[in-house]
Amino acid sequence: MSGAPEPRWPHAIVFDLDGTLADTKGDIAAACNHALVTLGRAPLGVEEIAAFVGDGARKLVSRSFGVADMDPLLDRAVASFSAYYETHAAVHARWMPGAEDALQACAGLPLAIVTNKPRSATLPLLEALGMKRRFRVVVAGGDGPLKPDPRAIRAALEPLGADPRDAWVIGDGPQDIAAGRAAGAFTLGVLGGFAKESALRAAGPHRVLGSLHELPALLQRAALAGPRDAVTSPRGAGRAVG
């Protein structure tokens, strides 16, 4: 984003998961289509379903079915989606471009994940991709308010001992940016995920990255821009991984 201030060295980094670190479109679409077909509906295309992602499982399913939140069908549809997805969360999932190098560049920093994905699907996905050990804290759907509520970001940073003003929040969706900005963090929007570029930019991230391949260089610039403050030690386990 032109004219944005240079970031300070982060005391912690919060990552979104779907569309930021992991390409999960195929598995999410398969779970939605399982629910649709099970309840007598026609399946949808992967990209059509991908456009519904970002606000939690219930919103995803309601949009896929085209029903309101209070429709009696929705509870059955969400149950069908969830039961399938919990055991198929990492069939087709893979790293997003640059994600592995980005996490390597973050070595030594306290890292957290804040996702609107249910915890029952989040942890198996992290395990399957070998990500689980990299994060001290995971805040998932069902643990508290969903993004864009900033309390999700604060809940991840508190056990890391990091003030949001000293943290970076990285995500591919407007929900991530809105939550990070409201919490007071430095926000990075990553293109190529679930959200359209226009929607991501409209959320006002401090920086927009073409992919996570660009994160290591940004960290290097932040380290050179000023004193590299010591990272605060974690104060507790919080909603720890595992």
223: left (phi over 0), alpha (psi -120 to 50) or beta: alpha
Long-range pairs of 223-232 with CB within 8 A, sequence gap ≥ 24:
223/9, 225/6, 225/7, 225/8, 225/9, 226/8, 226/9, 227/9, 228/9, 229/9, 229/11, 229/166, 231/11, 231/12, 231/108, 231/109, 231/110, 231/162, 232/11, 232/12, 232/110, 232/160, 232/161, 232/162
Instruction: Report the catalytic residues.
Output: 16
User: How many angstroms from the chain centroid is the CA of residue 155?
Assistant: 14
SS3 64: helix
Write the CB contacts of 123 (distance below 8 Å, at least 6 apart in sequence). 132, 138, 140, 241, 242
Burial class of residue 230 (count of CB atoms within 10 Å of its CB; 0-12, 13-18, 19+): exposed
